[in-house]
Amino acid sequence: MRTVGVEEELLLVDEETGEAQSRSSAVLASAERDGGVGAPDDPEELPLERELHGQQIEFATRPATDMTELAQEIRRLRTEVSTHAARAGTAVAPLATSPLPVNPRLSTGERYRWLAEQFGPTAQEQLTCGCHVHVLVDSDEEGVAVIDRLRPWLPLLLAMSANSPFWQGEDTSYGSYRSRVWNRWPSAGPTEPFGSARRYHEETEAMVASGVIRDKGMVYFDARLSHRYPTVEIRVADVCLDPSTPVLLAALTRALVDTAAEEWRADTPAPTTGVPLLRLAAWRSARSGLDGDLLHPVTHTPVPAEEALTTLLDHIRPALKSNDDLTLAENGITRLLRDGNGARVQRELLAQTGSLREVVGECVRRGE
């Protein structure tokens, strides 16, 4: 059974005012004084990192095969990061964008200075928090074969995770406005099929050689080979409000990887869907979330969200069964369709309270 890990980026906020706070250095200092989050015996393995802006922080889970274990790890790490944030005079909110107006502050360091000089407002505006899922692969060849076959299914993961309806104090009418901001990077978004690991590496090496991006860490494809781990990294999702949702995404993503790998071994060709249609599907998912039509992953025509997600379940059902994740996946999707993703919850909270400040405060409490 493949291992899976999750990276979550969290927003640092003042719980009383709801405003984003540039306190990542203080949060990291608190964690380091305690010997690290989740790794008290080895600070070198501290799974807590600064991000592009001082108003955000990132943690990474250990690889896991069991989704119950992964769920416990995510909740534990969210709680521990919250503890360190409190000591630093701030709070963490699993929000993919700040609901309230914010002036993003870039983190210090040579890499971040380079990004600011190279990309200007694009880098300055990237105060966005995502959720990345890593799934173990046997080789780069298998990994690229998987990436080629995942492409039409990734917009559905974005729709489920959508958790960024507000931007600079306004309702954007999108479920995931984060994804629209993120795709301003020139290296972000869907890709055409690569066909082989050799072709993938040639393409990414040429991207770095162009000088537009700094290194392979800036290959921001929706799905890529991790430059640090022997994994495929899926990068389309917003950070999720409810801690059970990244577990659902992890189970679905692993099953997608398993299914794609089986298709590759059976010599089933990768889908030929081009980037233009994939971009439209991603836009539709970002706009609708789960509260409108999505593009069907096979026909690329508009269908209700429930129909699109049913198609996803049918596609990966054998892998979900093999991983003992079918019940988790079915129940999780049913819950999301009934109760809503983070975008719907945030809008409901605003309708109830009339205050974006109250929305942020409630999201801080719900995220633990």
Q: Write the burial class of residue 121 (CB in 10 Å: 0-12 exposed, 13-18 middle, 19+ buried).
A: exposed
pLDDT digits (tens, 9 = 90+) for 144-169: 999 999 999 999 999 999 999 999 99
What residues does each domain of the chain span?
A: 4-366
pLDDT beyond 70 at 42? no
pLDDT digits (tens, 9 = 90+) for 82-122: 999 999 999 999 999 999 999 999 998 899 999 999 999 99
**Gap between the Cα atoms of 133 and 253, Å rounded:** 7
pLDDT digits (tens, 9 = 90+) for 249-281: 999 999 999 999 999 999 999 999 999 999 999
Confidence label for 229 from pLDDT (cuts 50, 70 and 90): very high
Range 4-366 has CATH code 2.170.150.20: no
Per-residue tokens: 77:
């790490």
Give the H or E element holding residue 13: strand 4-13
Residues whose CB is less than 8 angstroms from the CB of residue 285 and which lie 6 or more positions away in sequence, other chains included: 155, 156, 158, 159, 162, 175, 176, 179, 294, 295
Nearest alpha-carbon partner for 361 in 128, 100, 48, 170: 100
Confidence label for 43 from pLDDT (cuts 50, 70 and 90): very low
Confidence label for 222 from pLDDT (cuts 50, 70 and 90): very high
**Residue pair 328/246 in contact by the 8 Å Cβ criterion:** no
Give the H or E element holding residue 200: helix 197-209
pLDDT > 70: percent of the chain: 97
**Gap between the Cα atoms of 325 and 310, Å rounded:** 15
